[in-house]
Amino acid sequence: MVRLIASIVGAAFVLVLGIALFGSISGAITDPVAPSAESVAHKHPKELELASNGVFGKFDRRQLQRGFQVYKEVCSACHSLRLVSFRDLTKIGYTDPEVKAIANQWVIEQPSINPETGEPATRKNIPSDRFPLPFANEVAARAANNNALPPDLSLITKAREDGTAYVHSLLTGYTTQPAALLKEFPDIKTPEGLHYNPYFANLNIAMPPPLTADGQVTYADGTKPTIEQMSTDVSAFLTWTAEPNLEARHAAGFASIIFILIFCGLAWGAYQNVWRDVKH
């Protein structure tokens, strides 16, 4: 009797689930969800070819230095790089004296304490210091950026889907809101203080276009500083900050594959040698 009741209850439960599933499917077919402005206008990041792409990719040091220059002259006013030290710049081709000069001349100084008075003070940066924060705290950062908090860029290419391509597309994607989109979705007009960018998740971003004109940065190596070039270079630099050991990882992976192939060859040879006189 107990088994019969359990079977009836189980069958009823399955029936209810089936009815609910059928209702959900039929509802989705007969009354589909209307597309949103984000789903219609949001764009997938454009492909970006860099020397570091691929299994055998290596960083282009000259490009990384150009990217650092763009970060220094354009991005550092709002965005921090708190996981990177000045001395790490030696890994992208700067000499120790150059790194020391960059740290010493950095606009923002390190917070410190006056040993004589005990009052808060600042001091010049040294190579072992990490890049200083552009704002004292989150409140100050929001107050200076229309209540938006500029993200730290140390790991930005790891923290975003299609990281490097996303950064490049975002920097070059600012445009006016399409009239056709406004006609279809009149309620999504870009609010005052925001900027339309189809590569941003909700289409409207608080950050104004950081790269506004060709020649905004004067490259030391003579490369023509177009908006496309500057955005590519700073994207490459931020790829390095997120994964500075990329080249070592690629080399280790390649060496591991070679070792496995040699080991498999030796194992096969040993197998053939041990069992060569055994009749099947």
Instruction: Note the pLDDT of residue 21.
Output: 65
Instruction: Note the pLDDT of residue 36.
Output: 63
Instruction: Note the pLDDT of residue 100.
Output: 97
CA distance 120 to 111: 7
Residue labelled with tokens 């006609």? 183
Does residue 264 have a known ligand-binding role? no
Does residue 207 have a known ligand-binding role? yes
Q: Which of 89, 91, 109, 92 is nearest to 100 (CA)?
A: 89
Let me know the angle formed at the C-alpha of 18 by 13 and 20, rounded to the nearest 5 degrees: 95
Q: Give the number of other Cβ atoms within 10 Å of residue 121's Cβ.
A: 14
Instruction: Note the pLDDT of residue 15.
Output: 75
Is residue 214 a contact partner of residue 225, using CB atoms and an 8 Å limit?
yes
The verdict on pTM exceeding 0.85 is no
- Bridge partners of 154, per DSSP, are none
Instruction: Note the pLDDT of residue 187.
Output: 75
Instruction: Note the pLDDT of residue 263.
Output: 94
Q: What is the pLDDT of residues 28-85, one digit of tens each?
A: 455 444 556 666 678 899 999 999 998 889 999 999 999 999 999 999 999 999 999 9
* Per-residue burial over 149-171, b = 16 or more CB atoms within 10 Å of its CB, e = otherwise: ebebbbbbbeebebbbbbbbbbb
Which segments of the chain have a pLDDT < 70? Answer: 1-2, 6, 9, 20-40, 279-280
CA atoms within a 13 Å half-sphere pointing along the CA-CB vector of 264: 6
Is residue 55 a contact partner of residue 249, using CB atoms and an 8 Å limit?
no
Is residue 226 a contact partner of residue 214, using CB atoms and an 8 Å limit?
yes
Pairing of strands 120-123, 195-196: unpaired
Does residue 44 have a known ligand-binding role? no
Instruction: Note the pLDDT of residue 30.
Output: 54
Please report, for the chain, the start and end positions of each structural domain, with discontinuous segments joined by +.
37-42+54-81+157-240, 245-275
* Per-residue burial over 208-242, b = 16 or more CB atoms within 10 Å of its CB, e = otherwise: ebbbeeeeebebeeeeebebebbbbbbbbbbbbbb
Q: What is the CATH number of domain 37-42+54-81+157-240?
A: 1.10.760.10
Instruction: Note the pLDDT of residue 28.
Output: 47
